[in-house]
Amino acid sequence: MWLLTSLEGPNCGKKCYSVKTRQFLHETFVENWKAQIFYSPKSINYRIYKTEFGLEKYLSVLPPDLMYNIIKLRCGNQKLKIEAGRFFTIDRSERICDLCDKEQLGDEFHIFNWNVCSAERHEFIPVHIYNDSNIISLSEIMNSHDKYTLVGLAKFCKIVMSVFK
């Protein structure tokens, strides 16, 4: 019924119906995807740097061995305190990084301010990102289209992930 009003007319045959149905299903899927990310407490940082549904640039420019490091960080498939604490039902606000003295939440944002891998951060992360590390700069590096920046991010992520093995 919802489709009938947009499919009426002499020029709307099976192909039109198919296109409109596919479009509606895609739009519905994307809206549900956005709602799941918005309401999931696990996705607090993810929704900062993943605002639109679609293929990310790093997936098409990086080789798999580098790409997987960014995927793990972005999807929460790592052993940062924010993720490890979730499995032990530790309240989110109490998942403090125990590898440094900053007394900050051990999440994806924290590793860009982390003193444990500061030499590596300076080597692989652009200067303006680590000098002005905030939510905007985190989003900027996670959404970069520059291959050099993405390679540096992937190498930095690999080093950070190795600390948590």
DSSP 150: H
Residue 111 and residue 160 in contact, taking contact as beta carbons nearer than 8 Å: yes
Higher pLDDT, 130 or 121: 121
Give pTM, 2 decimals: 0.77
DSSP, collapsed to helix, strand or coil, labels residue 105 as strand
Q: Is the pLDDT reported for residue 4 higher than 50?
A: no
| pLDDT over 70 (residue 131) | yes
Average pLDDT on 108-131 reads 83
| Domain limits, the chain | 1-39, 52-163
Residue 76 has pLDDT above 90, yes or no: no
Q: What is the pLDDT of residues 77-98, one digit of tens each?
A: 778 788 878 888 888 888 888 8
Say if residue 44's pLDDT is above 60.
Answer: yes
